[in-house]
Amino acid sequence: MGLDVFDELVIATHNSGKAREIADLLHPFVITFYSASDLGLLEPEETGSSFEENAVLKAKAAAQASGKLSLADDSGLSVTALNGAPGIYSSRWGGEEKDFDFAMQKVHEELGSSQDRSAAFVCVLALAWPDGRVETFDGRVEGYIIWPKRGDFGFGYDPFFVPDGYNITFAEMNPEDKHKISHRAKAFDKMIEIFFAGKGL
* Rg over CA atoms, the chain: 17
CB of 200 to ligand ITT, least distance (A): 27
Q: Which stretch binds ligand ITT (CB under 6 A): 12-20, 111-119, 127-135, 143-151?
A: 12-20
Q: Which of 6, 18, 82, 139 binds ligand ITT (CB under 6 A)?
A: 18
Query: Are the CB atoms for 138 and 51 separated by under 8 Å?
Result: yes
**Residue from 6, 100, 137, 195 in contact with ligand ITT (CB under 6 A):** 100
Largest separation between any pair of C-alpha atoms in the chain = 53
| Contact call for residue 155 and ligand ITT (CB under 6 A) | yes
| Residue with smaller CB distance to ligand ITT, 47 or 113 | 47
Binders of ligand ITT among residues 159 to 178 (CB under 6 A) are 170
Cβ 8 vs Cβ 69: under 8 Å: yes
- Contact flag: residue 15 with ligand ITT (CB under 6 A): yes
DSSP secondary structure string for all residues of 29-67: GEEEEEETTTTT--------SSHHHHHHHHHHHHHHHHS
Strand partners, 140: 122
Task: Assess 140 for contact with ligand ITT (CB under 6 A).
Answer: no
Query: Is 74 designated active site?
Result: yes
Query: Of residues 9, 69, 74, 172, which one binds ligand ITT by CB under 6 A?
Result: 74
Cβ contacts of residue 60 below 8 Å, gap of 6+? 70, 126, 128, 132, 134
Decide: 5 and 31 in contact? Cβ < 8 Å: yes
Phi, psi of 4 (to 5 degrees): -85, -45
Binding of residue 13 to ligand ITT (CB under 6 A): yes
Can you give the binding site for ligand ITT, defined by CB under 6 A?
A: 13-15, 18, 43, 46, 58, 73-77, 90-91, 100, 121, 154-158, 170, 182, 184
Residues with catalytic roles:
74
